[in-house]
Structure 1
Amino acid sequence: MKFAPIQDEELLIKIAELHKMHELIQLAAKQFSLSS
């Protein structure tokens, strides 16, 4: 697979942010299921 160095940089940043959001959501879901 080839990546365009500059054009895909914004996309990679968005993907990284989505991964962080996903992890936070999973953590919140775990805490919610534990507390309920």
Structure 2
Amino acid sequence: MIIVNFNPIEPRTYFWRTRQQQEVDFVEDNNGKVFGFEFK
């Protein structure tokens, strides 16, 4: 038997930048857990 954990809620995604032009390329809010990603 295979049990698959299915989460039907899609994470919310954002781009974040300050007024001083500092930025995070990709921000993901997944059920209250926030992750930031920087891509080069």
Which has the higher relative contact order, 1 or 2, with Cα contacts under 8 A spaced 6 or more apart? 2
Q: TM-score, normalised on structure 1?
A: 0.20
Q: Which has the larger radius of gyration?
A: 1
Please identify which structure carries the higher strand content.
2
Q: TM-score, normalised on structure 2?
A: 0.20
